[in-house]
Structure 1
Amino acid sequence: MDMNQYLSMFIDESNDHLQSLNENMMGLEANPDDLSIVQVIFRSAHTLKGMAATMGFEDLASLTHQMENVLDLVRNGKLVMQDFIFDTLFKSLDALEAMVQDITAGGEGKADVSSIVASLQAIVRGEVPIAQGEGAAPAAAAPKEAETPALLDEFQLSVLEQSIQEGHQVLFIEVSIRKDCQLRAVRAYMVFELLERFGEVVKSFPSVQDIEQEKFDYNFSLYYISQKTAEEMQTLIMGVSEIDNVTSVALDVETLSQLVKPEVAATAEEAPPAPARENIPPATQTPAAAPQKEEAKKAPAKSSGAPSRTIRVDIDRLDVLMNLLSELLIDRVRLEQHASDIQSGELTETVEHMSRVSADLQNIVMKLRMVPVDTVFNRFPRMVRDLAKSLDKKVDLIISGAETELDRTVVDEIGDPLVHLLRNALDHGVESVTDRIAAGKPETGSIHLRAFHSGNHVFIEIQDDGAGISRDKVLKSAINKGIVTAEQAAAMSDNEAHQLLFAAGFSTAEVISDISGRGVGLDVVKAKISSLGGNVTIYSTPGKGTTFSVQLPLTLSIIAAMLVRIGSEKYAIPLSSIVETGIVKRSQIRSVHGAKMVEFRGSHIPIVSLSAIFNVPDYDESGEEETEIVVIRKSDKLVALTVQDFIGQNEIVIKNLGKYLPSIQGISGGTILGDGQVALIIDANAFIK
C-alpha cells in the first residue's frame, strides 16, 4: 500500500497534535493535579503513536509509546508530576517535533532519542534522575508498583463486575519468569495461549504488544475471567516450563471498586498487589483526586459533539484562486470602463451586477486567506517557559486577541520577528527575581502579547513590566559603536534614542550569550516588518516597562489605493498611507535649510516632487501656480507628494515587479489598470526615510 498519498495529511495532523501536546503540557504544569488535562494529553499522544506506526515511522511511534507509559501512570494516580518529569516530557516533544520536521523535509523521521527513552523508562521504574540531586524523594511508585497493572478504567471495571454477577471467577494473576530464561517473550506467549483456552484476559500490564516485543522485566500481571478457581489456574500456569512463580488471587465486587479510586489503600491481605498505595507520594492521595477522575471521564463527551465544519485546503490552491480572482478584478475594471464609454444601459446594468458578484467573491476569497494570529502565538508559551527557565527568571506570558485575523502571507512572515521581540523582552526587559524584589515588584514578571484590528491594519504589541529602556545606556552604547556622535546623541529625543535599538550591530548586552548580545536581532525585525509594509514603534517608561508596537497591513494582495496622474504616467498610492489630499500654491512652499517645506495643520512638513524623483519626461510642474498634493504618513512622520491630477480611488491587485527589475527605491510593486496600462505602486515608507 502506497502511504505517500497520506503523507501530507499525516504531517498536518502530527503538527496539530504536537501543538495540542505543548499547550496542554503547559496547562498541566500550571495545574499538576488536573487529571482531565492528563487524559487529553494521553489521547493526543496515543493518536500520534498510532498514526506514526501506521505510516511506518517507528522511531516516532516508539518514543511516543514511552511517553504514554509515563502518562498512563499519571492518569491512574500512580505518579505525581514533578519538575524533572515535565522537563523530560518537554524534551520528548522537542524530539518529536524534530522528527516531524525531518519527515516534512523528505527524511525518514529517524533520530537518536536513546537518552530521552532511558529517562522516560527510569521515571516509569520510579527512579529519580541523578541530576535531581542526592537524597531526592522518589518520584514514582516503587519498581514493584510499576510491574503491577494500571488501574482499571470504567469499561473494564463494568466487564469484570458483570462477570462476577454472572457467576464467573475474576482473578488477578502475577507471573514471574525465571531470570535465566533466554526467550521470555515465548514463555509469556505460552502462558497467554493457556489462559485463552480457559477464559479471557481483560487487561495486562505491560500490554500484550510490549510483552510480545520482550519489553518487560521477567514479570507481568493481568486481570482474568474464567470458570476455574485461582488455585487451578496457578497450577496450570506453573506447568509451563521456565516459570519461576505464579500468584493468583480471586477478586470480589468490593475489591474491584477500589481499583478505580487512586486514594484508597489496600487494607486486606487478599487484595491484589495492584491497589497497594504505600509507596505513592502523599500528593496523589488527596480526596480531590476523585472528582478530578469524574471530570476526566466526562471530558471525552464534550469532544464528541457536532462533526467538524472545517476542511484542509492546500495553500497552493488558495494561491491559484487568488491569482484567478486578480485577473477577474482587472477585467471587471476594464468592462466598467468600456460600459462607461459605450453608454449602453443593458451593458451597464450587467456590468454593475458582475461588479457586485465579483466584490462578494473577492470578500470571500480574502476571508479564505485570513488566518488567526493564534497559529503564530500558540508556539510562544512553550518558548517563554523554556527561556525563562534558562535565564532563571519567573515570567507569565499573557496572550490576548489571538483570534485576530491576518492574511496568510503576513502570518507566515511575522513569526520570526515576534520571536526576536519576545526574547528581547525576556532577556533585556524583565529583571531577575532579586532585582524585581529590590525594586518593590512581584517576583514574577509579566509579558503581554496582544493583537487587535485598527482600520486597515493589525497591531501586535509586546509589553513587559520590566526595567524599561535606559536612554543613557542606549546612547553610550551607540557612541561606543560609532553609530552616532556625542553631539548627535545629546540632541536626540527619547523616541529617537529608542530607534537606535534598530541599528545594525547594536546591542546593550554586556555579555554575549546564546540568547542575545551579538547585535543581531532588532535590525532584522525592523527590516522584515518594513518589507511587509508595516512599521514598529517603541514606548518605554524607565522602571515601569517597555512596549513594542508592530503595525501590519491586513493583506498584501488586494488593497484600496488612490490613483494619480503625472504626465502620461499613472501611480497608485495605498489609502492606508494617505492622511489627506489637497492643493497648495507655489508661494506657500518654502525652503528651510535647503529642503522644501510646506505648512500643514500648524506645522511644516517636507514636500517632494514625484515627477522629479521618477524623471517623468512629459510633465513640468514649475510653470504651475498651484499643485495637488497627497500627504502620506508613516508612524508620526508626514511628507507631502506633489502630483498633476487625482484619478480616483480603486481596488488594485498588487503584482510583483519580478526578479529582472532591481529593487527600485520608492516603488513596492505594480498593478494593471482597466485600460491595460501598468501603474506603479508608491512605497510610502521609502519617502518617509
Structure 2
Amino acid sequence: MDTTQYLDVFIDESTEHLDTLYQQLLNLEKNPTDKSIIEEIFRAAHTLKGMSATMGYSDLANLTHILENVFDGIRYDKINVHTNMMDTMFDAVDHLNAMVENVANGGDGTRDVTSIIQLLEKIERGESPPSSNDRELDSIVVAETEQPMTELDEFQLSILNESTERGYFNYEIHVKLNEDCLLKGARVYMVFEVLERLGEVIKSEPPVSELEEENFEHSFSVIFVSKQDKAEIIGKINKVSEIHSVDVTPFSVTDYKIKQEHHTEDRKQETAGNKEKDSSKKVKKQQTSIKGAQSKTIRVNIDRLDILMNLFEELVIDRGRLEQISLDLKHSDLQETVERMSRISGDLQNIILTMRMVPIDHVFNRFPRMIRQLARELEKQVEIEIIGKDTELDRTVIDEIGDPLVHLIRNAMDHGIETPEERTAKGKPEQGTIQLEAYHSGNYVFIEIRDDGAGINKEKVIHKAINSNIISQHEAETLTDQQVYELIMASGFSTNEEISDISGRGVGLDVVKNTIESLGGSISIDAKKDVGSTFSIQLPLTLSIISVLLVEIGSEKYAIPLSSIIETAILHRDEILKAHNKKVIDFRGNVVPLTFLSEIFSVSNSKSAEDDYVSVVIVRKGNKMTGLVVDSFIGQQEVVLKTLGNYLTNVFSISGATILGDGEVALIIDSNALIK
C-alpha cells in the first residue's frame, strides 16, 4: 500500500502523541499510583505503535511496542514506578521523537535503539532500579505474565474445558485493522464470517454490539474454539482486506483462573477511594468516547491557510475601494450592498483568523520536560506552573515565539533559580518555581515568565555594562531600576563569568528582544533581588490584517497601528513646552516628548509647523510614551499589512505598507522605533 499520501497526517498525529507521552510521563512521576495517567500514556503509545507499523517504520514501531509493554506492566501493577526507570522512559520517548523528526525531514525513521530496548526489556522483566528490594523484584517477576483479556463467566469456561477434552484448540486471537480502514464494521463482519466457518467464537472484546457500531479503535480480540491449527487461522483471516496484523495464541483455562484469582486478591485490597476513582475513570472514558464520536474536524495544511489569507487580504483591499466608490457616487442601493458585503466579509475575516489560531500549549508543552532535564543537570529542584495554555495565537506568531521562550526559561534556570543550599540559606523552600502564564488583553497576547529565584543584581548589571562600554559611569547614576533591567537585553551583555550551554554562550537576551520586536511585540522586565524576576512579553494576535488610524502629513497618508495608540488630541501651540532642548507636552501629569513626523519623513508641505493647533497621536511602548505630531486625522480602518520587499527591509520607523480604498499606498509607521 502506498502510504506517502498519509505522511503529513502521520507526522502531525505522531507529534501530538509524543507530546502526550512527555506530559503524562511528567504527571506519572509525580503521581505514580494514578491509573488514569497510565491509561492515557498507554493509549498514546498503542496508537503510535499502530501508526508506525502501518507506515512501515519498523524501528519506531518496535521501540514503541517495548515501551507499550512496560506501560502495560505499570497499568496492571506488575511494575512499580521509580525515578531511574522514568529516566529510561524519557530517553525512549526522546528516541521516538528523533525518529519522527527524521521522517519529517525526509528520512526513513531508522535509528539504533538496541541499547534503550535492552533497558526497557530489563524493566519489563521486573529488574527494578537499585532502590527496590528483592521482595518487590520477586513479586514483579511472578506477575510477569499478562492479565486476562476479559472476564469469562462459568458457562463460557465450561465450554472451553469441554472443547479441550474433545480435542479442540482454544485460542485468543487479536486482530488489528489498518489505521486508514474506513468501514471497520464491515471488516469485523468479514473476520467473524471466516471464524464461524473455522470454529466457534466464545467471547469478543469489545462486545459484538460495539464492534457493529464501530465503537472501537482499530483492534479487537476474541476467544475462539477450533480444530484448525494456528497457521490455518492466520492465513484465512489475512485474506480479508485491510487487515494489518493477526496474533493467535493458545488459551489455557487453568492459567486464566490463576491470573483471575491473583487479580481478585488485588481488587480486594483496594480502598473505597480507589473504587470512586475507577468510577470516575469509566465516566471519563465514556465522555471521551462520546467526544470522539461527535468530533468533526479535518487537518488542513498551513500553506493552504496562508493562501486563503492572502486571497482574503486582496478582498479587504477591494472592499475598501468599493466603500470609497459608494461614498463618492452617493448611490443608496450601492451603499446598502457595500455595507452588507462589509458585514459578511468581516464575519469571514473573523472565521479565517480563528482558523489560523493555535493554542499556545503547542509551545508550552515542551517546557516541563526541558525544565526537568535542566534541573538534573544544574542539580536544582524546580517546579513549573503553566497558566492559560489554551490562549490562542496566530500560527505565524506561534512558530516564531518558541525559541525566545526557550531562551528565557533557560535563563531563569541558570541565572534565576538558586541551588537548594542557597535557597535554604535565604529562608526559601528548596524547590524553586517557574510560572509560565499566557492571557489575552485587547488585540494582544501577554506571556509572562516568573521565577522565585535570585532576581537581578542591579549593581552587578551596572558594573558589567560599564566594563562592556554599554553605558558610561555618568549615565549609570541617572538610570532607573527599569532601565537597569533593560541593560541585560543589550547586545553581547551577560553577567555570567563563564560560558554556559544552559542560557547561551554570552549572547545575552538581545536576540530574544529583536525576535519579539520583529513580531510587532515588546518585552519588559521587573525584578526584585532575592525575590524573583518577571519577563513580560506582549505580542499581537495576528500579523496580517491590523486596525490602524489613518493620518495625513502634507499630501501623504500614513497609518499608525491602533494597538500602540493610547489617545489622540488636538492641542494649542501654547501648550507645547521645552525640556532639555526638546519639545514636550504635559499629558495627564506625565512629560511626553513630541515627534514631528513631517521632519522624520521630510514632508515639505506639512501644516504642522504653521497652524496654531496641532494634532497629536499619543503612542506607547512599555512604560515609554511619545506624541506623534501629524497634520490631521482621517479615521480608523482595517488594512492589510504588506512588506516593503527585500530591497527596503531597513527603512527607519516604517514596518510596511497598505493599499487604501482609493488605490493610494499608505506607509505603516513603526511607532516602537520612534520611542526613545
Instruction: Please report the TM-score for the alignment, with normalisation by the length of structure 1.
Output: 0.82
Query: Does the alignment pair 1:421 with 2:415?
Result: no
For residues 626 and 264 of structure 1, what CA distance do their matches in structure 2 show?
85
For residues 673 and 498 of structure 2, what CA distance do their matches in structure 1 show?
35
Using the TM superposition, name which of 644-653 and 473-482 deviates more: 473-482
Kindly provide the amino acid, as one letter, of the partner of residue 31 in structure 2: N
Contact 1:671 1:680 in 2 (8 A): yes
Match of 1:258 in 2: 261
Contact 1:125 1:140 in 2 (8 A): no
Of the three residues 365, 369, 373, the one matched with 1:386 is: 373
Q: What CA deviation, in whole Å up to 9, does each residue of 1:347-377 have, x standing for no partner?
A: 1111111111111111221222222212211
Contact 1:163 1:169 in 2 (8 A): no
Gaps of 5+ in 1: 172-194, 205-222, 229-246, 266-284
Query: Does the alignment pair 1:198 with 2:178?
Result: no
Query: Does the alignment pair 1:478 with 2:448?
Result: no
C-alpha displacement at 1:583, in angstroms?
Answer: 2.4
Match of 1:654 in 2: 641
C-alpha displacement at 1:290, in angstroms?
Answer: 6.6
Using the TM superposition, name which of 137-146 and 676-685 deviates more: 137-146
Query: Does the alignment pair 1:14 with 2:8?
Result: no
1:487-566 to 2 correspondences below 5 Å: 487-516=474-503, 518-566=505-553
For residues 155 and 578 of structure 2, what CA distance do their matches in structure 1 show?
97
Q: 1:560 to 1:262 in 2, by over 3 A?
A: farther
Identity over aligned pairs, percent: 49
Match of 1:186 in 2: none
For residues 331 and 110 of structure 2, what CA distance do their matches in structure 1 show?
68
Of the three residues 273, 287, 294, the one matched with 1:302 is: 287
Of the three residues 146, 153, 168, the one matched with 1:150 is: 146
C-alpha displacement at 1:250, in angstroms?
Answer: 6.4
Instruction: Please report the TM-score for the alignment, with normalisation by the length of structure 2.
Output: 0.83
Q: What CA deviation, in whole Å up to 9, does each residue of 1:363-403 have, x standing for no partner?
A: 22122222221221122122122222222222221111112
Match of 1:168 in 2: 161
C-alpha displacement at 1:20, in angstroms?
Answer: 1.1
Q: 1:45 to 1:162 in 2, by over 3 A?
A: farther
For residues 170 and 90 of structure 1, what CA distance do their matches in structure 2 show?
46
For residues 576 and 602 of structure 1, what CA distance do their matches in structure 2 show?
22
Contact 2:148 2:256 in 1 (8 A): no
Contact 1:370 1:406 in 2 (8 A): yes
Using the TM superposition, name which of 329-338 and 486-495 deviates more: 486-495
Match of 2:91 in 1: 91
Kindly provide the amino acid, as one letter, of the partner of residue 43 in structure 1: R
Contact 2:388 2:439 in 1 (8 A): yes
C-alpha displacement at 1:263, in angstroms?
Answer: 3.2
Q: What CA deviation, in whole Å up to 9, does each residue of 1:317-347 have, x standing for no partner?
A: 2111111211111111111111111111111
C-alpha displacement at 1:597, in angstroms?
Answer: 2.5
Q: 1:75 to 1:620 in 2, by over 3 A?
A: same
Q: 1:108 to 1:289 in 2, by over 3 A?
A: farther
Query: Does the alignment pair 1:461 with 2:448?
Result: yes
1:275-286 to 2 correspondences below 5 Å: none
C-alpha displacement at 1:517, in angstroms?
Answer: 5.8
Contact 2:157 2:253 in 1 (8 A): no
- SS of the residue corresponding to residue 150 of structure 1 reads coil
Q: What CA deviation, in whole Å up to 9, does each residue of 1:225-269 have, x standing for no partner?
A: 8899xxxxxxxxxxxxxxxxxx9986398645314347389xxxx
Kindly provide the amino acid, as one letter, of the partner of residue 508 in structure 1: T
For residues 144 and 468 of structure 1, what CA distance do their matches in structure 2 show?
48
Kindly provide the amino acid, as one letter, of the partner of residue 591 in structure 2: H
- SS of the residue corresponding to residue 622 of structure 1 reads coil
Root mean square deviation of aligned Cα: 3.0
For residues 414 and 150 of structure 1, what CA distance do their matches in structure 2 show?
46
Match of 1:241 in 2: none
Using the TM superposition, name which of 49-58 and 389-398 deviates more: 389-398
Q: 1:658 to 1:146 in 2, by over 3 A?
A: farther
- Considering only CA atoms, is the larger Rg found in Structure 1 or Structure 2? 1
For residues 319 and 105 of structure 1, what CA distance do their matches in structure 2 show?
21
C-alpha displacement at 1:518, in angstroms?
Answer: 2.4
Q: What CA deviation, in whole Å up to 9, does each residue of 1:268-290 have, x standing for no partner?
A: xxxxxxxxxxxxxxxxx876897
1:210-609 to 2 correspondences below 5 Å: 251=254, 255=258, 257-261=260-264, 263=266, 291=275, 300-306=285-291, 307=293, 308-516=295-503, 518-609=505-596
For residues 170 and 400 of structure 1, what CA distance do their matches in structure 2 show?
59
For residues 528 and 262 of structure 1, what CA distance do their matches in structure 2 show?
60
Q: 1:35 to 1:472 in 2, by over 3 A?
A: same
Kindly provide the amino acid, as one letter, of the partner of residue 198 in structure 1: Y
For residues 162 and 7 of structure 1, what CA distance do their matches in structure 2 show?
47
C-alpha displacement at 1:170, in angstroms?
Answer: 9.4
Kindly provide the amino acid, as one letter, of the partner of residue 161 in structure 2: H
Q: 1:607 to 1:170 in 2, by over 3 A?
A: farther
Match of 1:77 in 2: 77
C-alpha displacement at 1:58, in angstroms?
Answer: 0.9
Match of 2:192 in 1: none
C-alpha displacement at 1:502, in angstroms?
Answer: 0.5
Q: 1:71 to 1:248 in 2, by over 3 A?
A: closer
Q: What CA deviation, in whole Å up to 9, does each residue of 1:451-497 have, x standing for no partner?
A: 11122211111111122211112112222323222332222211111
- SS of the residue corresponding to residue 304 of structure 1 reads helix
Match of 2:201 in 1: none
